A and B are shown apart, each in its own frame.
Chain A
Amino acid sequence: MRRSSLSVAVIMALVASVLLSACTRPEPTQSNDAPLNIGVTTRPDGLDPITVAGAGTPFVLLYNIYETLVKVDSDANIKPLLATEWDVSDDNLVYTFSLEEGAKFASGAPLNAEAVVASFERARSESATAQIRDKWGPVDTIEADGEHTVVITLNRPSHAWLYDLSGPMGIIADPAGFADINTTPVGSGPYVFEEWDEGSYIQLKANRAYWGTPGRFTDVFFRYYSDPNAMNAAMLSGQLDIISNLTVPQSIEQFQDESRYTIHEGTTTGEVVLGYNHSSEKLQDVKVRQAISHAIDRQALVNAVWAGKGPLIGTHVPPTDPWYEDLSEHYSFDPDKARELLKEAGHESGLTLDLRVPVLPYAPPSARFISEQLKDVGITANVEELEWGRWLEQVYGNHDYDMTIVAHVEPRDMTAYAFEGNYWAYDNPAYNALLEEADIAATEEEQIATLKEAGRMLADDAAGNWLFLLPSIIITTPDISGVQVNQISLSFDLTMLARG
C-alpha cells in the first residue's frame, strides 16, 4: 500500500506546486523595468556580423549593441551616428569623419579613431564574408588622424559605399574583444550583450553608460521560435510583448483585439522573385519571360498566399528606396497577350518548365498558384519543393532549374543581377554599366536617375518576375511605442522603443 500512497503524494505535490506557482506568478508591471520579450524566427549562426552570414545576426546586434559611423533614417537620408559630421573631397574620393568624442565601448574603453580603423580593417580582411569584403571594394586606405578623426580614401567614387557603411560592414567593435567577438560582442550601443542561450534566446541589458539616450528597457530578450504558431501562441498567452515579424500573415486575425494588441503594417526590403535561369534555353527568349509576366495575376497571388498583405512591385526596388518608381503595372495580367507572345516565340504547342522552390512559407504556395495560371496559357510548370539545403545546392549553387522563387531581403540589392556567376545567370553588360555609372555619379540626383533607369531595364527585360514585396507585420502590446513600421535595415532597431 505504501507504493500507491507514494504515487498519490507525488501527484498531489505536482498539482500543489503548479497551483502555487500559478497563484504567485507576478502580474507584469507596465514599466520599462519589466523585461521586453520579442519573438523572432530567424536565429543567428553566431554573434559576429562580419564573419557570419545570415540575417539573424545583424537583426539583434546592429544599432542595439553595435553602432556605425552613419545611419539611414526612415526617409532614406544618411545621418550622423558615431560620426558627428563628415567631409567629402571635391573628387568624391576622400572622406574625413569626425568621431563623437563622448562615445565609449561597454567595456569602458574609448571609441577612438584607432578602434574604428581596427574594426574596418577586420571587416575587409580575409576572415570577413565575401559579401562584406566585396562592399569594401571601393576603399583604398583607412587611416587615423589623431584621436577623433578617420580619413578613408576611395579608389573610385561610390555612393553605395557610404550607404553600406550604415550596415553590418560598418560596425565598430572594441578591438580588445576581437578574440571572443563571435560569442561576447562588445560595442558602443544603447544596449549591452548579456547572454546567448543558443537556439533559445539572446538577452540584452540597457547600457547605463551610453553616450547618447540610453536604452529604455532594463532587459530585452530576443526569443526564438521555429514554429510561427508557437510564437503566436506565446504572444496570445501574454509571454511576448512583440512579434518582430508575423511569418504567417493569415494569422493576423488572431490579433484584432485592439485593447490587447497593436498591429504595425509596413514594408520591408524583401522582394519575392520568380527567378529565371537565363542560361536555360527555353527562357533565353525575352518574349517567353514577358509571357510569363503577363500570365500571372500577382494581386490574386498575394491575396491567395499572403493574405493580401505585401505591395506589388515591378522591379527589384522597394518603395523605401529613393529610386523607386511604381512599375507594378508594367506587365498587366493578360493571358491572351501571354499566349500571343508564346506563339511568337514558337511555343504554340506548349512549353514545359521546372519550378524548383525552397520550402519557405511563401514559396510552395506561390509556386502552386503560378503553376495553375501558367497552365492556362499553355505552360506546364512542374513544381518541385526542395528543403533549404538541397535548394542551395541544386538551384543556387548548380543552377539546375528553370524557374524558382525566393525572397531577396538585403537592402539595396539590385546589384545581385550584376554579380558574376549570379544564380539567375543574368548577364547584361548594359545593366552592369548603368549600376557602375550610378555608383560613381557626381551627384545624388544623377545617381537616382540612373538607378531608376536600371530598374526599368530589369523590368523591360523581364529579368525576373517580382511577385510582391514581403510586408513587415509587427505585433506589439498597445503600450509599446517607437516601433519602426518599415523594415529598411537588417536591424530590429530598439533605440526608439519604450513602454508608454
Chain B
Amino acid sequence: MLRDITLGQYFPGNSVLHRLDPRMKIFLIVIYIVTIFTANTPVSFALVLASAFVLLFLSRIPAKLVLGGLKAVFIIMAFTAVINIFWTTGEELWLEAGPIKIYREGVEYAIFMIVRVVALIVGSSVLLTYTTSPIALTDGLERVLAPLKVLHVPVHEFSMMMTIALRFIPTLIEETDKIISAQKARGTDFTAGSLAQRARALIPIMVPLFVSAFHRADELAVAMECRCYRGGEGRTRMTRLHLHARDFVVLGAHIVLLAAVIALNIIF
C-alpha cells in the first residue's frame, strides 16, 4: 500500500551522522557534491565511491534499505550507460562490429557515470535525508539561508511551509488510503477499463482529498493564529543549534577528501 513507500524517508537513529548539526550537513552535502563532480580519473572515482560507503557505514542504516533506494534510478543509470558506451568516440577503439564502435573512453564514461550516480544517491541520502529529521532539516535550512533576509526573502515563512508540508505527508497518505477504501466499497474499479475510464476513476479520490487538505490547512491556520503565531520576527527557539567538535572533524574529513580527489586527478 501507499504507506510502504520508504524512499527519502527519515530513519531514526543515534549515529555520528544523526548527531551532526543540520547546518553543517547542508554545507557538507555541497562539498560532497562538488567532490563527486571534481573526480575525473579512475583512482579518484574509486575514492569517491569508497567514501560513499564509509558514510553508509557511519550512519548505521541498513545497507539494504539505502541500496534498495537505487532501484528507483536503475533505469536512468542503465540508459545513460548504454548511451555513453555506444555514442562516445575516443582514440582507443576496443570493438568494431558493423556500424557499432566501442571506444575505451565510452566504457570509462559509462562506469564513471554510474559511480557518480551511486555515490550521489548513497552519499546524500545517508548524509541528509535518512539521518536528519524533517524538523532539523528545515531548521538548518532556515539558518543557512538566514542571510537572504537582508534581501527581503521570507526565509522563515518558507521553512515553516516546508516543515508543515513534510509533517502532513504521512497524514495525507493515510487519508488517501482511507478514501480509496471507501470508494472501492462503493464499487470504484481502478484496474479495469480504458485509460480514460481509469483516469475518471481517480476523480472520486482526488476531490475528497483536496477538500480535506484545504479543510485541514484552514484549521491549522486558525490553530496557529490562536497560539499567536506572527511569523519569524522576534521568535525564539526551543532547541538551539550548537556546533560541536564532531562537526568540525567531519568537515575536516570532507575537505581532506576533496583535496585528495583534486590531487589524484592531477597525479594520475
User: Do the two chains bind?
Assistant: no
